[in-house]
Structures are given as structure tokens and as C-alpha cells.
């Protein structure tokens, strides 16, 4: 089996070399590496050329870049790669083994933080582990067969954020099951490692999710209620805090407190950003 890797890029020289190095040594003959670049002005393209990537230049967002990539791919199995992730040594081998099963058409890999050092990063890593447990039901997929992408219509190019979840919704409506492969691990370099970065990222995310929620008739009422609760009834935050602590029963008290704190801050920032 051969696969095609599709990577959207724009000025990603800081992380792309590590990403491609982790993948290049795993590629076999007739595997394919496709870079869809939105006219980077740094050394992104020099790095891509060094690894023998097929380069397509197109000024577009991530959704359009991914669509351009898979539509120009020669292989049936497409892996959408993040330019700011490092991939586990046996990542591609594991994906190929799973995708030889004709019953599997869509799959999600496991995401972890790369060498988390700060308390924020370590807490987010714990959150990833809790979310990606044995009962985890994926809402999106980064490994897909072309026929699924064609049937679903690919990524919605009007969406800047939530495009993967939106595609996942359409895939499941078509009757496909999204499998989770916890042994195929990507280590994400782009996760926030401080509260300042977490707040900035959440704020940006909240300001760009309107189209997704409107399209999928899923306005985040709970987030708005949480925002109003925090403004009108601050004492109720204590109740929310306690509920979160009870919910994370497999963690130490320290991690329960940290994870609950991050969860509340993130929800509040998201709600404020979305409402304003």
C-alpha cells in the first residue's frame, strides 16, 4: 500500500524541517509528499524541496490547501499532516497496516504534546490523555480514502476553523465510522505552554467559529450561558470548579485543580470572544 501526505504551509520554516525529517525516513517508494504552499516568504519552500516534496503554490486557506492536495494526489489513502507536528517513528507503518483493512475508510491518529515542560503544557497533555481513552469516539479524521473525500465533498473552503469537525459530521452522516488508532502518534509543537498563549489561542478560535456553528445549527448556547453565569453569578463558578474536580477521578488532586482551572478559563474566554 502507498500513501500520499498532504501538508498546507505558509511561513512554517521553524517547524517544517523537524516535521518532514520525522516522516521522510518512513516513506517508501511510490509514497508521495505534497506541499500546498500559500506563497511563503521564508525558507519553507527550500525545506520542502530538500525532502523532494511535490510543491503546489496556491494562495488559500488550510481547507482549500488540503482539498488541492488530495485532488492532486496519486494514491488512494491520504494523510493530512500538520506542519508543526513531529510524527512517531512507526507512524506511517501503523497507518498502512490499519488501512489494509478494507472496512476502514477514515481514521484519526493520537495527538500528544511534544516534551511538555510548563504546568500548562503538562496539564493539557493530561487532558489529551483523558480525552483519548479507550472509550474515545473521534469527531474528525486526518487519514481518509479518496472515495470518502469525494463523497463528502472534501473540506468546506469557507471555514477557517472547525473544518475538520465539519468534514467529520458529513462523513458520519454518509454512514462511515471513524476509527481511532492510538499507536499512530503525532507530537504537536503548536500547543500553548503558558496561560497567555492559551488565552490568545482560545480568543482567536472563538472569533473564527461563527460560520461553523451557523452551518451545523449548533450555536454554543452552553458557552453563552457559562459566560452569563460568570458575569451575573460569580459564586456559581465554585460549583463548576467542584464538578470538574469530581469528573477527573483518575488524576491527582493537583492535576484536577489545574485542569479544572484551565477548563473554566478556556470556556469563559471562548464565550466572551464568541458573544462580543
Q: Mind listing the pLDDT tens digit for each residue in 34-92?
A: 999 999 999 999 999 999 999 999 999 999 999 999 999 999 999 999 999 999 999 99
Helix (H) or strand (E) holding 143: strand 143-145
Residue 9 is given by DSSP the state E
Helix (H) or strand (E) holding 274: helix 253-275
168: left (phi over 0), alpha (psi -120 to 50) or beta: alpha
For the chain, which domains are there? 3-188 (3.90.550.10), 195-275 (no CATH)
Say how far apart CA 265 and CA 270 lie, in whole Å. Answer: 8
Lowest mean pLDDT among 162-166, 172-176, 200-204, 262-266: 262-266
Please tell me the pTM assigned to this model: 0.87
Place of cell 486526518: 142
Say how far apart CA 231 and CA 237 lie, in whole Å. Answer: 10
Q: Which three cell numbers stand for residue 195?
A: 496561560
Phi first, then psi: what are they for 201, rounded to 5°?
A: -65, -45
Cα–Cα distances (Å) from 271 to 98, 207, 219, in that order, read 39, 10, 11
pLDDT of residue 231: 59
Crossing angle of helices 253-275 and 236-247, rounded to 10°: 130
Residues 6+ apart with CB under 8 A from 209: 161, 162, 220, 274
* pLDDT digits 0-9 by tens, 184-241: 999 999 899 999 999 999 888 887 777 777 777 665 555 565 556 555 555 656 666 6
Amino acid at each position: 500500500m502507498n500513501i500520499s501526505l498532504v501538508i498546507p504551509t505558509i511561513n512554517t520554516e521553524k517547524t517544517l524541517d523537524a516535521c518532514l525529517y520525522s516522516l521522510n525516513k518512513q516513506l517508501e517508494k511510490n509514497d508521495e509528499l505534497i506541499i500546498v504552499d500559500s506563497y511563503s516568504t521564508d525558507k519553507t519552500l527550500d525545506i520542502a524541496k530538500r525532502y523532494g516534496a511535490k510543491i503546489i503554490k496556491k494562495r488559500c486557506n488550510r481547507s482549500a490547501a488540503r482539498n488541492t492536495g488530495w485532488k492532486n494526489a496519486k494514491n488512494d489513502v491520504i494523510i493530512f499532516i500538520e506542519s508543526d507536528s513531529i510524527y512517531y517513528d512507526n507512524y506511517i507503518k501503523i497507518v498502512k497496516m490499519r488501512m489494509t483493512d478494507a472496512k476502514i475508510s477514515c481514521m484519526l491518529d493520537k495527538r500528544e504534546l511534544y516534551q511538555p515542560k510548563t504546568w500548562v503544557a503538562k496539564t493539557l497533555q493530561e487532558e489529551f490523555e483523558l480525552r483519548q481513552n479507550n472509550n474515545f469516539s473521534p469527531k474528525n479524521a486526518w487519514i481518509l480514502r479518496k472515495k470518502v473525500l469525494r463523497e463528502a465533498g472534501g473540506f468546506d473552503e469557507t471555514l477557517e476553523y472547525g473544518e475538520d469537525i465539519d468534514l467529520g459530521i458529513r462523513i458520519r452522516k454518509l454512514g462511515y465510522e471513524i476509527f481511532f488508532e492510538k499507536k499512530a502518534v503525532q507530537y504537536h509543537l503548536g500547543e500553548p505552554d503558558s496561560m497567555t498563549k492559551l488565552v490568545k489561542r482560545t480568543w482567536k478560535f472563538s472569533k473564527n467559529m461563527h460560520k461553523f456553528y451557523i452551518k451545523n445549527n449548533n450555536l454554543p448556547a452552553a458557552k453563552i450561558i457559562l459566560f452569563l453565569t460568570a458575569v451575573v453569578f460569580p459564586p456559581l463558578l465554585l460549583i463548576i470548579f467542584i464538578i470538574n474536580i469530581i469528573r477527573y477521578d483518575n488524576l491527582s488532586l493537583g492535576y484536577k485543580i489545574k485542569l479544572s482551572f484551565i477548563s473554566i478559563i478556556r470556556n469563559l474566554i471562548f464565550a466572551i470572544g464568541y458573544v462580543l
